[in-house]
Amino acid sequence: MPILINLDQVLADREMKSKELAEIIGITQANLSILRSGKAKAVRFSTLEAICKALDCQPGDILAYAED
């Protein structure tokens, strides 16, 4: 899929663990893992908003587009 998820990088920059982020934004670790691995088919605006708020970043920091 040409949409890349840079969540691992942003988490590393903030020195935050994925478990912590999952608790803050209120989703399960399994779902966060699906998002981090790029297996997710869609991301809700509410989830994206919660991630941006928790990590103090912009959607563009997490999502990127790359041609196949």
Q: Shortest approach of other proteins to residue 5 CB, angstroms?
A: 10
Q: Shortest approach of other proteins to residue 39 CB, angstroms?
A: 6
Using CB under 8 A as the criterion, what x/- string covers residues 6-45 for binding other proteins?
---------------------x---xx-xx---xxxxxx-
Q: Shortest approach of other proteins to residue 47 CB, angstroms?
A: 5
Residue 55 interacts with other proteins (CB under 8 A): yes or no = no
The residue written with tokens 């990590």 in the block is: 55
Give CA–CA dist 45/51, Å, rounded.
Answer: 10
- Residue 66 is which amino acid? A
Tokens of residue 10, six digits: 């942003």
Q: How far is CA 12 from CA 1, 3, 67, in A?
A: 23, 20, 25
